[in-house]
Structure 1
Amino acid sequence: MLKALIFDMDGVLVDSMPFHAAAWKKAFLDMGMVIQDGDIYAIEGSNPRNGLPLLIKKARKDPEAFDFEVITAIYRQEFNRIFKLKAFDGMKECLELLKSRYLLSVVSGSDRFIVNGIIDQLFPGIFDTVVTGDDVLNSKPDPDPFLKAVELLNVGRKECIVIENAILGVEAAKKADIYCIGVPTYVEPSELHRADLIVGNHQKLLEHLINLEPAFNPEPAFRRRK
């Protein structure tokens, strides 16, 4: 029986990843490195502690030669300067309806300050739990962020659905053995092939979520085929 919905934030609730990408590129450029949007989208969902070494290697540099706190501080300042807060159309209304049926959670790889600021402004009082990149040691694609949400919600993994738009997020949900809906906001649908269900866009996502019933059995697809 379905009891809880767990949402990624960037790219699922808010159209924010282009701003994250621009801010990270500015931070890297200030440190003498060049990275591309695609490099950032490929590791979407990881926290800076886990994601920065991957990006630095993409820039053909040694991660040990850089201070992650300095890079993150530049990124955070630039993100706050350029970010324009915008939820996807219909998302708030959909969440308000879903809140009467299910427990709701956010699981994001972004830092606590950014996540809580966005949630407090756009979705006040909506979510029962919030897990940020600061709340777990191992970020997506490790299952820890989603397992933390399940623990905080006090539900079983088979009583949840994860909604993700990122490659690493889908991988993390499947490692946690949780049913996952993928929405290809910034990547090709084929890149989310591990999801149990892929919806084409946000409008179809909202329609699907509204039509869900608590009696739905969110059993991961690979288990249903056994």
Structure 2
Amino acid sequence: MTPAAVLFDMDGTLFDSEPLWDIAIEELAHLYGAQVSAEVRLNMVGRSVDESMVLFHDGIGQPWRDAAASSAWIYDRVTGLFATDLVWRPGAQELLHEVRAAGLPTALVTSTNRRAVEVALDTLGRHNFDAVVCGDEVAFTKPHPDPYLRAAKLLNVEPADCLAVEDSPTGVASALAAGTRVIGVPNAVTLKPMTGLTLLPTLAGATLAALSAATA
């Protein structure tokens, strides 16, 4: 069944951008005279920066730090990196172009804030999305269903008729909670099999027809 719309996550799904977030997080840890463990970093993947900064501060043993100030620092650094260093994940650009060529509505659904997303859209192509939902534009971001529910509403389609493409457990949880069909393409964090989730090792060679059939 061809979906009524395709909803794409950004970081780790369309772009291999987690290494850019790693750079910013490691630099901030160094600025604070600390190091962030791999376990803490993985737990931050897919979450909003504000939520991630709470985990980050706890992880480096400095829970008293101001999350808003750290978030602002991270976004300043990442926005600069987005302008110069974004790299597409294998098959992601080709799938996005195929979906657009088929005339299907698309949305970008991300926990990243609007300021950084606007920079990323220079590479993604604004014309490739009929709606954009950012982490600072919903009452509750991933893993809450709000972002995907909002995307479906903006596209005037039912969530159950949509196909979401995600890479993180947090994003998958959000899309499943909203009632969409979900393709999971793990990147920085392993995805566990679960009802409603179709796992792929990569989007390389993936076609709209194959994804539709796999999630029917």
Query: Aligned residues, how many?
Result: 211
Secondary structure of 2:188's partner?
Answer: coil
Unaligned residue ranges in structure 1 (runs of 5+):
220-226
What aligned pairs does 1:49-88 form with structure 2 within 5 A after superposition?
Answer: 49-62=50-63, 65-83=64-82, 84-88=85-89
- Distance in 2, matches of 1:9 and 1:202, equals 14
The alignment's C-alpha RMSD in Å is 2.3
Moved more, 177-186 or 40-49: 40-49
Q: 1:123 aligns with which of 109, 122, 125?
A: 125
Measured after TM superposition, the shift of residue 186 of structure 1 is: 1.6
8 Å CA contact retained: 1:160, 1:218: no
Q: Match of 2:97?
A: 96
**Kindly, what percent of the aligned residue pairs are identical?**
27
1:187 counterpart letter in structure 2: V
Residue 142 of structure 1 is matched in structure 2 by: 144
Residue 211 of structure 1 pairs with residue 210 of structure 2: yes
CA distance in 2, matches of 1:101, 1:217: 20
Q: Partners of 2:103 and 2:81 in 1: how far apart?
A: 36
Q: Distance in 1 between matches of 2:118 and 2:81?
A: 18
1:162 aligns to 2:161 (yes or no): no
Q: For the Cα contact (< 8 Å) 1:45–1:139, is it kept in 2?
A: no
Moved more, 98-107 or 125-134: 98-107
CA distance in 2, matches of 1:108, 1:192: 21
The whole-number CA distance in structure 2 between the counterparts of 1:41 and 1:210 is: 32
Structure-2 residue corresponding to 1:29:
30
Residue deviations 1:158-213 (CA, integer Å, cap 9, x gap): 1101110011111111222221110011223xx3323520001231xx51435345
Say if 1:105 and 1:128, in contact at 8 Å, map to a contact too: yes
Is the Cα–Cα contact under 8 Å of residues 107 and 149 in structure 1 kept in the other structure? Answer: yes
C-alpha distance in 2 between matches for 1:209 and 1:59: 43
Q: Which residue of 1 aligns with 2:179?
A: 177
Calculate the TM-score normalised by the size of structure 1.
0.83
Post-superposition shift, 1:82? 4.3
Q: Is the 8 A contact 1:141 1:172 kept in 2?
A: yes
Residue identity matched to 2:76 = Q
Code of the residue aligned with 1:52 in structure 2: it is M
- d(CA) in 2 for partners of 1:39 and 1:140? 18
Aligned 8 A contact 1:7 1:163 in 2: yes
- Mapped contact 1:42–1:167 kept (Cα < 8 A): no
CA distance in 2, matches of 1:81, 1:123: 18
> What is the one-letter code of the residue matched to 1:95?
L
